[in-house]
Amino acid sequence: MTINRGRTALITGISGQDGSYLAELLLTEGYVVHGIVRHTSSLIANTSRLDTVYQDPHETGRRLFLHKGDVTDAGMMVNLIRDIRPDEIYNLAAQSHVRVSFDLPEYTANVTALGAIRLLEAVRASGIDTRIYQASTSEMFGTTAPPQDENTRFHPRSPYGVAKVYAHWATVNYRESYGMFAVNGISFNHESPRRGETFVTRKITRAVARIAAGLEQKVYLGNLDAVRDWGYAPEYVEAMWRMLRHDEPVDYVIATGRAATVRDFAEAAFSHAGLDWREHVAHDERYERPAEVPELVGDPAKIEREIGWKARVHWDELARIMVDADRKALPGGA
């Protein structure tokens, strides 16, 4: 912890799944952590995932600072980065839901693609020396067959995937053009009890908990044949941090290397609660996508070799972790 004391990090998307775990990690490592949170009409800010680390603004010696902002506002980003002068910046902010991106393609591009370029330009404008992590994604590989690694061709299949390809190449371009320490972590799907409730793993594990408690009977899903390489989010934020502490700015795939179908995940989650998934999973075509990404399985050999990071939790254990957490979270849950 002493080694990082005094280091300052800025996290966009700090209120999200990854942002909250990353904030916890960096605070544990001695950092001062700044995060951008969006304005909402109903809450002071959407900080429920940060409950364990939230510090009252009136506390002395505080190391977590939340700033109202939005990655669609360039001026705000320049001013904040100039004032904070962070040693490390993690760009996690995104409209990150693939299905939603088909309904909101322009908005998704503005946040997820242009948000990255605004951040890179804000760093240039403020003239600071900082290291930048861009949250790239396996969704960029789209239809290209697995196993996917750092050299695999991109063929995105959604407005979200297209936006992330733009942000990915912008990050490479600023590294090459201006010598910035700017890197892409090409993360495969990673989940946790803090996963948004409309992503498929969490949708399933929440349903398992509610069905086991007798609160509902069915969960409606789309394509059960999709294959995903699901890892555990707290481990993935450690990979992000270690990439920025690396000697060289290098892009890495972050993955477990093992995969399963949505059907397999549902079966594992239901059976962990003593239930038969076939009695509770029904199909609803509303959850199908105009274009699907059929199979994502990462090859994490490069990050294992060069950074020493290796996934420990795989999809079946993840299903159990998430079911246990969702059952515990219900009123009266054990």
Out of 101, 126, 130, 189, the residue judged to bind ligand NAP by CB under 6 A: 189
Is the CB of 140 or the CB of 180 nearer to ligand GDD? Answer: 140
- Interface residue with ligand NAP, options 46, 55, 79, 173 (CB under 6 A): 46
One DSSP character per residue, 179-246 reads --EEEEEEEPPEE-TTS-TTSHHHHHHHHHHHHHTTS-S-EEES-S--EE--EEHHHHHHHHHHHHHS
Helix (H, G, I), strand (E, B) or coil at 132: strand
Binding flags for ligand NAP, 86-125, as an x/- string (CB under 6 A)? ------xxxxx--------------x--------------
Q: Which is nearer to ligand GDD, 12 or 96 (CB)?
A: 96
The Cα-based distances of 321 to 5, 251, 314, 316 in angstroms read 32, 29, 11, 9
Taking the least distance from each CB to ligand NAP, the nearer of 34 and 280 is: 34
Cα distance between residue 187 and residue 255, in whole Å? 6
Q: Which of 23, 209, 226, 240 binds ligand GDD (CB under 6 A)?
A: 226
Rg (CA), the chain: 20
- Each residue of 293-314: b (16+ CB within 10 Å) or e? bebbbbbbeebbeebebebebb
The Cα–Cα gap between 230 and 222 comes to 18
**Residue 199 binds to ligand GDD (criterion: CB under 6 A):** yes
- Count of residues making up the chain: 334
**Per-residue binder mask for ligand NAP (CB under 6 A), 130-149, x = binder:** -----x-x------------
Helix (H) or strand (E) holding 282: strand 281-283
Smallest CA-to-CA distance from 223 within 140, 167, 292 is with 292
Please say if 137 is a catalytic residue.
Answer: yes
Pairwise CA distance, residues 308 & 1, whole Å: 19
Residue nearest to ligand GDD (CB): 226
Indicate which residue of 8, 130, 137, 205 is catalytic: 137
> Cβ 326 to ligand NAP, closest distance in Å?
16
Among ligand GDD, ligand NAP, none, the one that 289 touches (CB under a kind-dependent 5 to 8 A) is ligand GDD
Q: Is 197 a catalytic residue?
A: no
Active site residue 8: no
175 binds, among ligand NAP, ligand GDD, none (CB under 5 to 8 A by kind): none
- Of the chain, the end-to-end C-alpha distance in Å amounts to 34
User: Cis omega before residue 147 (within 30°)?
Assistant: yes
Stretch that binds ligand NAP, among 15-23, 208-216, 260-268, 322-330 (CB under 6 A): 15-23
**Nearest-CB residue to ligand NAP?**
16
Binding residues for ligand GDD (CB under 6 A) = 96, 98-99, 137-139, 188-189, 198-200, 203, 221-223, 226, 228, 262, 287, 289, 292, 296
Residues that bind ligand NAP (CB under 6 A): 12-13, 15-19, 36, 38, 46, 70-72, 92-96, 111, 135, 137, 187, 189-190, 196
Residues annotated catalytic, as ranges: 137, 139, 160
